[in-house]
Amino acid sequence: MAEPFRKSTLPNGIRVLSENVDSVRSLSLGIWVLAGSRHETPQTNGIAHLIEHMVFKGTEKRNAFQIAHAIESLGGGINAFTDKNLTCYYVRLMGEHMETGLDVLADLVAHPTLQPAELEREKGVISEEIREVEDTPSELIHDLFARNLFREHPLGLPVQGSVESVSALQVDDLHRFRVQNYSADKMVVAAAGMIDHERLLDLVWQKLADRPTGDGKENTQTMAPLSAQRFESHKTILQSHIMIGRRIFARNDPRRYSLAILNVVLSGGMSSRLFQNIREKYGFVYAIFAFSELFLSQGMFGIYAGVDTAHLEEVAALIYEELRKLAEGRLSMEELQKVREQFKGGMILSLEAMQARMNRMARMEIYEKQLLTIDQLLQLIEAVSLEDIQDLARYLYDRDQFIETVLLPDEALL
């Protein structure tokens, strides 16, 4: 399954990636910008996400309806997302309509009008989105956990911001953030599917040649040392939510392949250890899973559970016990091989979608500065040994590094 990756860098610094897939007639195309919540301050928190919303309200060439209609009238779809590190604007459509798709995306990225009246309306929309997260404890605890884990560092800021920070933002703030972060050196254009690389390269240069190169500077704020601590919050809820985790390595660390396997061991479906040894054995939880997120300079690993308050401490102890068992080497070659196959199968199935291929390619370039074929990635996963998993588990299982974040029901409800 050798993919014909192509990569070029335009004179202004924009990186252009493509993967031609002969067997499809569709195309997934995205413009990725290194502008996320880690580039914000507490005062500007939420601005990257707000800009992502605002560009869809109108550009110099199109109003909001025309932006959507230009893609949807061709049978395609257009959307965007923001996370801690980046913002991505993307389309999925027939390969023959690549120029239209890129024209609309470039219009959003380079020529939004950012009207004050639209900004005030969109602040209200995002404030409701924030309140929805705050009303959903299984989502809110992720924001609380990141804040407790990364403290004063921008990685601890929620992507959506707060109602207060978003409400205070003005059009001048949005323009200033775009000047600082929407430069060519912080952009990657990626496309997967029915794609001709040279044609893509020509179109990107036509539509984004005016993007300034930028200063190449990245947010390098240092992170304060961490020691084990428990944080508790209360809300009007009926179930407790707990997240146990720690800071870990960055996305380019070679241990990321062992981490991918370890996550499957812990919570890769109904046969996983957390599911079998906590949910099935004791019936204490409905939702329980391990997760990890790796950034440019740091990462985080954690385990989440929603649990009746009466069993909260038992579940926390059981989570630590599962990590301890892995650190002690209680993983057989048979289980490792099963998990390897599970991971590889899931990856292959997901990559039958062009959107997933485009995402994978762009993220590899942004975070790892290399493009690995599926075959190369499969070889790296196959090379993960029992010793690798145990070494990683020993590193993870450092009780002095764990932060516990707990969301408890108000006492009045107990």
Report the Cα–Cα distance between both ends of the chain, in Å, rounded.
56
DSSP lists the bridge partners of residue 97 as none
Known catalytic residue at 52: yes
DSSP lists the bridge partners of residue 247 as 300
The amino acid that residue 226 corresponds to is L
Going by C-alpha positions, the residue among 135, 138, 131, 396 that lies closest to residue 242 is 138
250 vs 402: CA distance, rounded Å: 17
> What is the phi-psi region of residue 283: left when phi exceeds 0, alpha when psi lies from -120 to 50, beta otherwise?
left
DSSP lists the bridge partners of residue 135 as none
Q: Where are the alpha helices (DSSP H) in 268-385?
A: 273-274, 281-282, 312-327, 333-350, 354-363, 374-382
The amino acid that residue 50 corresponds to is L
Q: Give, to the nearest 10 degrees, the angle between helix 116-134 and helix 47-54.
A: 120
For the chain, the maximum distance between any two Cα atoms, rounded to a whole number of angstroms, is 65
Q: Are 64 and 121 in contact (CB under 8 A)?
A: no
DSSP 114-147: --HHHHHHHHHHHHHHHHHHHT-HHHHHHHHHHH
Q: Which residue in 3, 19, 40, 52 is the catalytic one?
A: 52
Residue 329, judged by CB atoms within 10 A of its CB (0-12, 13-18, 19+), counts as middle
| Cα 231 to the center of its chain, rounded Å | 24
347 vs 377: CA distance, rounded Å: 10
Residues 40, 46, 47, 48, CA torsion sign: positive
Strand 299-307 and strand 403-409: pairing?
A: unpaired
Residues identified as active-site? 52
